[in-house]
Amino acid sequence: MSTAARATSIPAGVPADVAADGNGPRWLKALLASPTTLVGGVLLAVIALACFLMPWLGHMDAYATNTSAMLAAPGASGHLMGTDNVGRDLFARVLLGGKASLTVGFSAALIAGIVGLVVGLYSAYYPRLGYMLMRICDGLMAFPAILFGIVFVGSFGQTTRSVVLALSIVFIPMVARVVRSATLANMNENYVQVLVNLGAGGNRILWRNIALNVIGEWIVEVTFVFADAILVEAAMSFIGAGIPQPHPSWGNMLYDSRTYIYSAWWLTVFPGVALALTVFVINMFGDGLREVLDPKKRR
């Protein structure tokens, strides 16, 4: 097939550097050539699989207490990470705490990402609507994420659902601003003016053309929101406003360990390392995606 024929076969609104060539999609080759993205993605998958599958496959009970094995050191009595102050297995609680934190972070990032994408696209394409939407976003961004979460959970009850909704709302403006900025940049491209002259409607231009060109920035921002949501949830749980007890999360595990920080170091170290490592891996994956999805670096 000639070069001209291949160019005409690319769907409208899809950049040429995203389209597949004779050796496959260029973004896939860039992904395979990015060690940061591969390492981050593999480590994130390992952490997620461990948190979601190991407790189920190993029939671990994170709630069973054993008063004869309270504050057992790592490795003692068959407990890999030791036990807490009431004899519960710390390894099982770290894994289930990771499951809770990952679930809350992913859910909040997904909801904030979808709503932020819609708000960002329409606020850029329709200026009057965009003015009102951006002022609402400015108002939400005026509240610190933790403060907003505490107020929201205090108003609607301390449940996992309330925590997810609070974090989703507080992170929508961040996604919306990134998408709006990328959409405004794309509206200056020639293909948008051509589509307008051809009589294409706003929804068609936004969702079948512009959205395809801002999806890269959107994905990268959602990964960072994922990491930020896990951190905020941990902070809320640490002060007693996050995942309700007795359900484990890394935040409330760190809160419970504060009394034993000198006598039982493992209660602080293992949940803290798990939290820091997970956030680091997600940010690594997001930085790698930024390089892969940057059209200037793909060319």
* Assigned domain for 94 exists: yes
Q: Which domain holds residue 145?
A: 34-58+74-293
* Assigned domain for 168 exists: yes
Q: Rounded to two decimals, what is the model's pTM?
A: 0.84
* Assigned domain for 19 exists: no
* Assigned domain for 12 exists: no
Q: What is the pLDDT along the chain (299 residues), one digit of tens a residue?
A: 444 444 434 444 444 444 445 455 665 666 677 788 889 999 999 999 999 999 888 888 888 888 888 888 888 777 889 888 888 989 999 999 999 999 999 999 999 999 999 999 999 989 899 999 999 999 989 888 999 999 999 999 889 999 999 999 999 999 999 999 999 988 888 888 788 788 788 788 888 888 888 888 999 999 999 999 999 999 999 998 888 888 889 999 999 898 888 889 999 999 999 999 999 999 999 888 887 776 555 44
* Assigned domain for 259 exists: yes
Query: What domain count does the chain have?
Result: 1
* Assigned domain for 185 exists: yes
Contact residues for 293 (Cβ-Cβ < 8 A; gap 6+)? 27, 216, 217, 219, 220
* Assigned domain for 299 exists: no
Q: How far apart are CA 61 and CA 89, in angstroms?
A: 8
* Assigned domain for 17 exists: no
